[in-house]
Structure 1
């Protein structure tokens, strides 16, 4: 009895620790990310399965740095950049971030709308897109930060559906193990485009800004005093969130890489196509779970996307910001969130294909992430900024590995595009 109580207490304590790291990890598997992983599996089978194993320690290391920057400095990443770097660096970062995040929001809204239409065919997908946009806008503006954080945290449970889907179809375990442990790379622009897209949608710049800003929100709410215990708990939260994200990514590639690829379906352009393709091959349950997961991840990711963009802009110009503020206390912050959602929604009506927006977003993230990773590494090793909480040797090794891998993939893609 005592042992069961101890286990229960440990689980309750661990659940309480989970917060920004878990939500950040879950939002990483948004509808556009799911589409990228689905395309990868459909086009190349299990050839990219290994990327989820490589990506985990890299993304965890970078997100830990961002979390530590936020909790130690009591500023978001943009605020730290503003105080410690030349203004042109800040404006270039803003220039690259704005279109990529808005396109990401647009692709996610379109994906959710299309899947809503799959579940309820009598209702056009555009109506679902508008409905989801209005619901999210209302919740973000009217719910206090604490309720938003709790809602997002529990929504993460939806992603568990992707752990079930692959097992509804017969799998070859030896082939899966081989693809997981032995990296496969094809040096052509199509494969490198997918690889950069996977890295870009996994190690996404908007997550860097969200993680740091959310740690500041948590610090303000709980009045945390930074010490080794707090840093350890933050690292646990980030590690769990990123491992959760990595598992979801792994199982989506596994599902599409076996079910779709093995049945000759090598071209998946949208998330709803991936869901629909599973129906005759893996059954109605697989189709339904995959579709529900897409809507759930969109509900997690879009507040993170719009919120991170708003933090970037308001911190850049010194405006009042924070999800813990009411609308009248931080009007600019919430207006930017509303504008980003409406701009994202409008992409569906001006002829920009959601899949094009999705691909361009992932690749743009993949190309810009190395610059931000380099800046994050510099900040994390700056004793004037971080005091005694600078990077450990392990963090630096993983951080520089992220920088090298992301840069190499981006440079290879650019070379192949120019050589074509």
Structure 2
């Protein structure tokens, strides 16, 4: 009898292990996109929100989850159904001049974000091991470019997936500090501060959470997966469509949940430490890490700093890659990470140029905070028309065939577009 129970137990363990492995294998573009959303500039924004307002703005992460999930679902849906990235679909649907302007805005915003992220990674490295910041900026840029140029796509995608684990450092920080969980829970469900300062921070949180480069990245990665596996777009070959949509939903829901949970962890940790100590002004992610050292201890500081480096290594390739996909698709150039550099020279040239421009921004003594502000402004200009265009594409049979997006996804997608429009208006109002 005991032997039988033992065999049953082993079978169940194997079944559970197989299920977990199968579930993990379905995680890809959505998880990488979600993790890239928590880049060093995002970490700085979330740290500032927690430091300045304590637990009062945690509700923003609950609000943004269904909205950003719907937008990214539409992005992935478009890529898998059409076999092309978002930029190609935009170019096929809307006037070329409009698309060119939007892609140009995306490119400039991404370069500024790359510069700010490289600066934050270098500053965090200097805090941990010492050295010269500008040397680290160059080394991180070189590593990012080398990954994209010389690592085959299927291996490169696996590297990005593993880099998402670096974000668990912020969960570790959360476990090391004393949190008022009653106040934290209340902050998740009810706004406790709606003053002008809080509104400006909410707009910043929305802007760093729902970013245009993530739309381009996830749609292009779905198209990349098709090309890498030798499959045809669902519009041409609908077999297995239900399984693919189920995978995209699972991947995206998990990826966006991961993104928002990490953002919550950063905000809660900052509220429990920096805010409680009266430190209410944080300009960079590295500054947040340094401020943690005397409050939460050396280990918490080191974990926070290492998280900045890990997520930067994830985000910089995504920023540069999404720019390359957007430009190449609108210009009709051959592009994609499954190609070797000599096969898609212009695509990879954009990756190199965007990353190099980010390095020059840092070496040219451009204030990284000012770069992020301008990046947020440009993203705000581009996000709303891009989101509206995505919803139009996803609902048109001409582009999507029988696989138009589900009504509920479109409802939340349009809701996200409306929220971002309001946020953009409030952002510009705060600058006046």
Q: Does 1:383 align with 2:397?
A: yes
Give me the whole-angstrom Cα distance separating, in 2, the residues matched to 1:416 and 1:297.
Answer: 29
Contact 1:36-1:359 within 8 A present in 2 as well: no
Q: Could you say which residue in structure 2 is the equivalent of 1:103?
A: 112
Superposed, 1:177-326 pairs within 5 Å as: 177-188=185-196, 190-224=197-231, 226=234, 227-326=241-340
Contact 1:367-1:407 within 8 A present in 2 as well: no
* SS of residue matched to 1:327: coil
Q: Does 1:127 align with 2:135?
A: yes
Superposed, 1:1-40 pairs within 5 Å as: 1-40=10-49
Superposed, 1:72-151 pairs within 5 Å as: 72-121=81-130, 123-151=131-159
Give me the TM-score of the superposition, normalised by structure 1: 0.97
Give me the whole-angstrom Cα distance separating, in 1, the residues matched to 2:378 and 2:299.
Answer: 35
Give me the whole-angstrom Cα distance separating, in 1, the residues matched to 2:429 and 2:316.
Answer: 33
Contact 1:199-1:366 within 8 A present in 2 as well: no
Q: Aligned-pair distance for 1:366?
A: 3.2
Give me the whole-angstrom Cα distance separating, in 1, the residues matched to 2:250 and 2:183.
Answer: 32
Contact 2:170-2:304 within 8 A present in 1 as well: yes
Contact 1:72-1:386 within 8 A present in 2 as well: yes
Q: Could you say which residue in structure 1 is the equivalent of 2:374?
A: 360
Render the CA deviation track for 1:212-233: whole Å, top value 9, x for unaligned.
1000010112234531111111
**Which segment drifts farther, 223-232 or 91-100?**
223-232
Give me the TM-score of the superposition, normalised by structure 2: 0.94
Contact 1:32-1:107 within 8 A present in 2 as well: yes
Give me the whole-angstrom Cα distance separating, in 1, the residues matched to 2:45 and 2:98.
Answer: 29
Q: Aligned-pair distance for 1:348?
A: 1.1
Give me the whole-angstrom Cα distance separating, in 1, the residues matched to 2:397 and 2:279.
Answer: 53
* SS of residue matched to 1:263: coil
Q: Aligned-pair distance for 1:364?
A: 3.0
Contact 1:193-1:363 within 8 A present in 2 as well: no
Give me the whole-angstrom Cα distance separating, in 2, the residues matched to 1:395 and 1:284.
Answer: 44
Render the CA deviation track for 1:220-278: whole Å, top value 9, x for unaligned.
12234531111111111111111100101100011112210110101111111100111
Render the CA deviation track for 1:113-144: whole Å, top value 9, x for unaligned.
101100112x1111111111111111211111
* SS of residue matched to 1:329: coil
Q: Which structure is larger by alpha-carbon Rg, 1 or 2?
A: 2
Q: Aligned-pair distance for 1:349?
A: 2.0
Q: Does 1:398 align with 2:419?
A: no
Q: Aligned-pair distance for 1:285?
A: 1.1
Q: Aligned-pair distance for 1:298?
A: 0.5
Contact 1:196-1:362 within 8 A present in 2 as well: no
Render the CA deviation track for 1:358-385: whole Å, top value 9, x for unaligned.
2332343234311111111111101111
Render the CA deviation track for 1:284-330: whole Å, top value 9, x for unaligned.
11101101100000111111000000011111111110000001100
* SS of residue matched to 1:347: helix
Contact 2:111-2:355 within 8 A present in 1 as well: yes
**Which segment drifts farther, 94-103 or 190-199?**
190-199
The CA RMSD over aligned residues, in Å, is 1.3
Q: Could you say which residue in structure 2 is the equivalent of 1:163?
A: 171
Contact 2:77-2:405 within 8 A present in 1 as well: no
Give me the whole-angstrom Cα distance separating, in 2, the residues matched to 1:284 and 1:360.
Answer: 34
Give me the whole-angstrom Cα distance separating, in 1, the residues matched to 2:163 and 2:70.
Answer: 24
Structure 1 unaligned spans of 5+: none
Q: Does 1:331 align with 2:345?
A: yes
Q: Could you say which residue in structure 1 is the equivalent of 2:66?
A: 57
Give me the whole-angstrom Cα distance separating, in 1, the residues matched to 2:358 and 2:198.
Answer: 28
Q: Aligned-pair distance for 1:145?
A: 0.6
